Every structure is written in C-alpha cells, then in structure tokens.
C-alpha cells in the first residue's frame, strides 16, 4: 500500500467503479463511497466500504477521490451544488476522474477544482471488468506532473498509469483507443457473419479468427461472449456509442477524418434502435445477424 494518502473515495459504484473500490478495499485502504442507488453498493458495504449519502461527504472524507460516471451530464451533476464534489474538496485533496467524458468538461472542472486549492487529474482507463479485477488496467492520465507523481502508487492498485500530457489529454487518448475498440468488434462481427452465411461452423470460425493475426487482446477476451453475450454487460453498446460520438466531436474540432468511426457510429445507432443498447459490445454480431435477416425478408 502507498504510504499516503490512504483514504480513498468513490463517487459512482457501477461495474467499473465498484470493482475499483473493491480493489482498494482488498489492498487495505479505507474507502468511502456513494452511488445513485445504495442497493448497488451493498456488497461493498458488507466488505468494508464506508457509505456516505452525498458526493460532497465522500469528497470531504477522502484524501483521493475517484469518480467513475457514465457521461458529461452525470459528472457535472455530481460535481455541482451544495451536495456536490466541489463543495467537499479542500486544499491538498486530489480528484481523479476515471470516467470517459469530453476533454472540454474535464478541463473546465479542473479549472474549478484549482479554485479550492485541490487538484484534478483526468485518468480514463482502458480495459473492462476482468482487467479491473486483475489490476491490469491501462490508465491514461492528464494533468499536473507533480500531482501525478504523488498519486501514481495509488493508481498502480488498478493497473499501469501513464502521464500522457495536460488536462484533457487522457480523455482524448482514451477516445482514440475506443475508436479501435468499436471498429475491431464490428469488423469481427462482419467477418464472422460472412463465414456463417457461407456455411462455416460459427464457433469454429470464431476460434480461428481470434487465434489468427487479427486476434487482438480485446477480441480474444470477448471471444467467449460473442455468441452468447452476458446479461450483465462488461461495456455496453450505449456507452460505446457515446464514446464514438465524443471521438467524432473531437475529430471535427481538430479537422481529422475518422471514416471507420463514422461507420461504427451508424451501426451502433441501429443497434440501439433494435434494443441492444444495454448489451455488451460483443452483441454486435447478433445486431448484424438481425440486420441480415431484415434485408433477406425485404429482398
């Protein structure tokens, strides 16, 4: 365990935040936390998490505060108001945001945090639930170099942190990675559907494809759930769609073409229209199957 600080806070105890909090509890840290619904955190409370009713109370109790929230609106809501994070921060505290949000919101919040003599780092992560549980996340950090050095041992409880630049740069690099996450999953689904319709055994095709040169760590990790996605998604289509949208917004500001991200966004839109938004991104194969069936009926 790091020598100091030793008090950790979490605002957002969903799939990612909850498993991160569990890592810190397992490492012996005192962990405070809150979530939109207390029921979601009951297992963590039984394992020693100290529940607080508001984000302000968690920020006030913790030396290092983590937020793991789904989007810009949720992060800004948690930050603002009498019961928000900003009301609980004080000099010497560090806020580490592991959410994937826009770099604009990240930079704006970092400026507001400095007014309280606290520090904020944006630190989105690459990896899903298995990587959180194993402590093997890749953590892309944007912000002050000295503050990063101070909390780097704490971040190592979750995986491998890397300082990538100024405030907001962690968010941009995370979006750059998630373009490939969505596009790779879609490309695998396309190839698998092509093989299936040609009469090749689907499971065999999946094994060969993920064992071949295209078998990235992400595709290999998801191969077991492509044909039978779990009810409890590791990373759902709604969040993937949000991240691709943020990447496209950033690209437009920087005048960067993202043709495969554009196409992935179109298919993710269809996936949500077909009712797959809470399914893991591995379900893109079933989305394409359904689209294929619809095209066949229309022909």
106 and 137 fall within a common domain: yes
Q: Which domain holds residue 181?
A: 172-298
80 and 145 fall within a common domain: yes
The Cα–Cα gap between 267 and 262 comes to 9
Last residue of a domain, which of 124, 142, 165?
Answer: 165
The Cα–Cα gap between 261 and 247 comes to 8
141 and 33 fall within a common domain: yes
Strands 50-51 and 119-122: unpaired
24 and 143 fall within a common domain: yes
Last residue of a domain, which of 117, 136, 165?
Answer: 165
Total domains in the chain come to 2
Q: How far is residue 96 from each of residues 9, 17, 167, 180, measured CA to CA in Å? A: 10, 12, 11, 25
Catalytic machinery residues: 174
Residue 69: inside a domain: yes
Alpha carbons within 13 A on the beta-carbon side of 103: 23
179 and 160 fall within a common domain: no
Q: How far is CA 92 from the centre of its chain?
A: 26
Phi, psi of 95 (to 5 degrees): -105, 120
Residue 59: inside a domain: yes
Q: Walk along the chain (299 residues) and give the pLDDT tens digit of each residue.
A: 445 447 999 999 999 999 999 999 999 999 999 999 999 999 999 999 999 999 999 999 999 999 999 999 999 999 999 999 999 999 999 999 999 999 999 999 999 999 889 999 999 999 989 999 999 999 999 999 999 999 999 999 999 999 999 999 999 999 999 999 999 999 999 999 999 999 999 999 999 999 999 999 999 999 999 999 998 899 999 999 999 999 999 999 999 999 999 999 999 999 999 999 999 999 999 999 999 999 888 87
197 and 152 fall within a common domain: no
Residue 2: inside a domain: no
Under a CB-based contact definition with an 8 Å cutoff, are residues 203 and 227 in contact?
yes
145 and 188 fall within a common domain: no
Residue-level pLDDT at 3 = 52
Q: Please give the model's pTM, rounded to 2 decimal places.
A: 0.91
- Residue tagged 């619809």 (tokens): 294
103 and 51 fall within a common domain: yes
CATH number of the domain that residue 69 is part of: 3.40.50.720
CATH number of the domain that residue 246 is part of: 1.10.1040.10
205 and 261 fall within a common domain: yes
Last residue of a domain, which of 124, 146, 165?
Answer: 165
214 and 92 fall within a common domain: no
133 and 211 fall within a common domain: no
90 and 21 fall within a common domain: yes
Residue 1: inside a domain: no
Strands 159-165 and 64-67: unpaired
Q: How wide is the angle at C-alpha 134 spanned by C-alphas 129 and 136, nearest 5°?
A: 90
Residue 19: inside a domain: yes
């Amino acid at each position: 365990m790091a020598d100091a600080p030793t008090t950790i806070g979490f605002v957002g105890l969903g799939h990612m935040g909850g498993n991160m909090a569990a890592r810190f509890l397992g490492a012996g840290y005192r962990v405070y936390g809150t979530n939109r619904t207390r029921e979601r955190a009951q297992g963590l409370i039984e394992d020693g998490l100290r529940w607080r009713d508001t984000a302000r109370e968690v920020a006030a109790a913790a030396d290092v505060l983590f937020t793991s929230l789904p989007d810009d609106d949720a992060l800004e809501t948690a930050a603002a108001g009498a019961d928000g994070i900003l009301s609980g921060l004080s000099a010497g505290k560090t806020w580490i945001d592991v959410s994937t949000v826009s770099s604009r919101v990240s930079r704006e919040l970092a400026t507001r945090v400095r007014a309280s003599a606290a520090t904020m780092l944006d630190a989105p992560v690459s990896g899903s639930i298995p990587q959180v549980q194993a402590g093997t996340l890749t953590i892309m950090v944007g912000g002050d170099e000295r503050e990063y050095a101070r909390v780097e041992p704490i971040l190592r409880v979750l995986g491998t942190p890397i300082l990538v630049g100024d405030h907001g740069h962690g968010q941009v690099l995370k979006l750059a990675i998630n373009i490939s996450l969505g596009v790779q999953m879609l490309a695998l689904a396309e190839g698998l559907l092509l093989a299936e319709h040609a009469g090749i055994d689907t499971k065999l095709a999946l094994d060969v494809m993920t064992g071949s040169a295209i078998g990235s760590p992400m595709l290999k990790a998801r191969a077991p759930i492509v044909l039978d996605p779990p009810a409890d998604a590791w990373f759902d289509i709604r969040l993937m769609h949000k991240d691709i949208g943020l990447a496209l917004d950033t690209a437009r500001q920087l005048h960067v073409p993202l043709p495969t991200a554009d196409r992935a966004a179109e298919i993710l839109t269809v996936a949500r229209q077909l009712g797959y938004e809470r399914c893991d991104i591995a379900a893109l194969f079933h989305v394409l199957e359904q689209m294929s069936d619809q095209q066949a009926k229309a022909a």
